[in-house]
Amino acid sequence: MSYLDSLNPPQRQAVMCTEGPVMIVAGAGSGKTRVLTYRIAWLLDQGADPYNILALTFTNKAAREMRERIEKVVGSAAKSLWMGTFHSVFSRILRANAERLGYPQSFSIYDTDDAKSLISTIVKEMKLDDQLYKASFVYNRISSAKNGLIGPELYAQDPEIQNLDINSGRPKMAEVYRYYQERLRKAGAMDFDDLLFNTYKLFHHYPECLHYYQHKFKYLMVDEYQDTNVAQYRIVKMLAAVHENLCVVGDDAQSIYAFRGANIENILNFQKDYPSLQVFKLEQNYRSTQHIVQAANSLIAKNKDQLTKNVWTDNAPGDKIRVIRCFSDNEEGKLIAQTIFEEKMKEHRANHDFAILYRTNAQSRALEEGLRRLNIPYRIYGGTSFYHRKEIKDVIAYLKLIVNPQDEEAFKRIINYPARGIGKVSLDKMIVLADEHQIPLFDVASQVEQLKFGTGAAKIMEFSTMIKSFMAESKKKDAYETALWVVKQTGLQKELFADKTPEGRSRYENVEELLNGIKEYVEQEENEEKDLSAFLQNIALLTDADNDSDEGGDKVVLMTIHAAKGLEFPVVFIAGLEENLFPSQLSMNTRAEMEEERRLFYVAITRAEKKLFLTWASSRFRYGTLIQCEPSRFIGEINQEFLHVDIEKTAIMAGMNTLKNKKLSEGEEFYTSGPAIKVGGVGPLRPVAAKPKPIPAAPLDPNFVPDDTSNLQEGQWVEHQKFGKGKVTKMEGFQGDRKANILFEQHGEKQLVLKFAKLKIIQP
């Protein structure tokens, strides 16, 4: 086949080996998507039925790109493939079997915001402390349990889990989890994690259902296998048990999602599950220069738990990786912006050729300020997604209630929007009636007269009648026609249009864009189902990567390293390479945590095609306190022959006259507050004892001795070295995470984390 001619020997072997268990270890930039695509094309060319092929990815974007590539090779047969994200494929299976598990076929899928809203309601109803039982914390705790296939009953019975909750001051967590699941079921809804957990339950409790899909999917392929969690691993293993034609593709060196439940052991121990496994290693990098590839190799070699491979490239050597020390986080922002400006002028690059990566979202402030000063356009990748904007969620809530009238979160969101005179008192009364009669809120709205609701019943009946009319229309209209009818009849369109502020205009345009998107969905040939239910399922299953709807255009991209996985840019800056920031101080407790941080840095390095800059600041504000920083250990773990320390840029940006215009000869050492780095890349990094550390430009009071603040209380007076005297107005948190709101006499109110803030307890 002609498409096979474009593959190198290992790629070709991996494509043509279709029988039995196969693992393709794909190094960064090694063309894994092409291999996976051509492998499916090869199967189809060999006579495999597309309906018998299942390909699982982690983003809809990846699935869409693969399907388009396959279609170019084999034609329309690609349309019949079962290909998509774990969540979209399992949602399809669950909709066909929902009644077995006690759900309606048109079950709603709650996104993170919906789920957190429900948790907040439950915490309030249970009269729990909403600071201890924060919705985000509870949601993540429940999500982690579900990804580990731990349901509410098992959660409540596990002594280790219970001890952890009790010691953290949250003894009611199991009860919240149980109640949360009951409310989801009552609303005919599943959250994202339920799509995995319930698929496992379906296969576990209904062997005939598992048998059907085991025999249907003769060939299974899983992309990014290193990112699978316990639930995904178990389901894939169940599905592949009959034919064992399972092909997994991944790179253990890019396993960076442990916080989401990803288990690197799944790929490291894959051969134990399948002793007859055939392994193919894709080691040629087509993306980056030799210096970047070899630097990444020298770093990741420090990890003990990994599959051995030797990534290499035929690309040009390229520039050495430039390491730049800044004297503050603001200087770092200025320096990066200035460097981008210079690169654009010198190399004639576009703004979108540049990406700035960082460990935490909080770092973006100084970076954004630097870019704004030089009028360099930028966008934050992974900001508020289009479908998470308020006006969009309002319209979607109407559509969800039409499809699933049991959806209580959708009901509560729109019962009085646009305003129709149904206030909080009426809604609370409806919630009480729903609990008393064990019926959904919409049923209460439909029966307010029989339930002797009293004042406000007429307006609630009007709302109920309106939604029922929408339901009737939706049976006759496609998704676009229904949505357009809803937006007009509810008064949403009129209300948004009446707001002439720039923000109001933007909200109106966003709703127009939503309608355009629904129209486009209806007109796409591959979408066989055009109704509202199908459209809602489609958008509910968008992943974070698919949801990046910030305007594109020629802009510098800023993003966290986690968000950058799978992307590539000609020029990359990795900012904030300091101890306790990267690697994170929260990930230094075990070797496994440190190795994941190192893998995260490896991912960051391998996003760069042509040039890579590593920057760090010797001082940075964190939690309201200026701290002195040491360079990240990871800089020292890169083989020094691939690094160039930019001493001149550092000196100029910091305004250090003693270093300005000074030329360092090959091998001369540049002393920082941490290790010494040799200019020109001669010799390894090593600790420096002989040279003094740099003195901060504005030294702090050496006589300032902070007190123990573990028992600090509201009403006490304190002194901060930078902010001066202030009074504690509020305390929150517990144990090592206590925070204090302090009203300073000269600097106003600030919130400080006590374990980082250095405070003296004083009398006013």
> Which residues are designated catalytic?
32-33, 223-224, 254, 607
CA distance 543 to 539: 9
Question: What's the gap between Cα 568 and its chain centre?
Answer: 17
The residues pairing with 739 across neighbouring beta strands, listed in sequence order, are 732, 753
343 and 561 Cβ atoms separated by less than 8 Å? no
Which letter, b or e, does each residue of 224-261 get, where b requires 16 or more Cβ atoms within 10 Å of its Cβ?
Answer: bbbbbbbbbbbbbebbbeebebbbbbbbbbbbbbbeeb
Under DSSP, the state recorded for 486 is H
Residue 481 CA, chain-centre distance (Å), reads 33
Closest among 247, 249, 235, 242 to 218, alpha carbons compared: 242
SS3 364: helix
Residue with tokens 């355009």, as numbered in its chain: 516
CB 390 within 8 A of CB 113: no
3-class secondary structure for 85-144?
EHHHHHHHHHHHHHHHHCCCCCCEEECHHHHHHHHHHHHHHCCCCCCCCCHHHHHHHHHH
Please tell me the distance from the alpha carbon of residue 555 to that of residue 569, in angstroms, as a whole number.
Answer: 12
Other C-beta atoms lying within 10 Å of the C-beta of residue 268: 15
Q: How far apart are CA 759 and CA 97, in angstroms?
A: 60
Mention every residue, 6+ apart, whose C-beta is less than 8 A from residue 171. 162, 165
Whether residue 482 contacts residue 402, with contact meaning beta carbons closer than 8 Å, is answered with yes
Please report which residue ranges of 524-646 form alpha helices under DSSP H.
Answer: 532-540, 561-564, 591-605, 633-637
Q: How wide is the angle at C-alpha 251 spanned by C-alphas 250 and 252, nearest 5°?
A: 120
- Residues in the chain, how many? 764
End-to-end CA distance of the chain: 84
Separation of alpha carbons 161 and 167, rounded Å: 10
3-state helix, strand, coil split of the chain in percent (to 5) is 50, 15, 35
What's the token pair of residue 445? Answer: 């709205």
Give CA–CA dist 761/35, Å, rounded.
64
The 3-state DSSP class for residue 619 equals strand
In a 10 Å sphere around its CB, with 0-12 CB exposed, 13-18 middle and 19+ buried, how is residue 150 labelled?
Answer: buried
Q: H/E element holding 56? A: strand 53-57
By DSSP bridging, strand 53-57 and strand 82-85 are parallel
Residue 725 to residue 744: CA distance in whole angstroms: 6
Question: CB–CB of 564/347 below 8 Å?
Answer: no
For residue 664, give the DSSP letter. Answer: P
Report how far residue 394's alpha carbon sits from residue 414's, in angstroms, rounded to the nearest whole number.
7
CA–CA separation, 126 and 49 (whole Å): 53
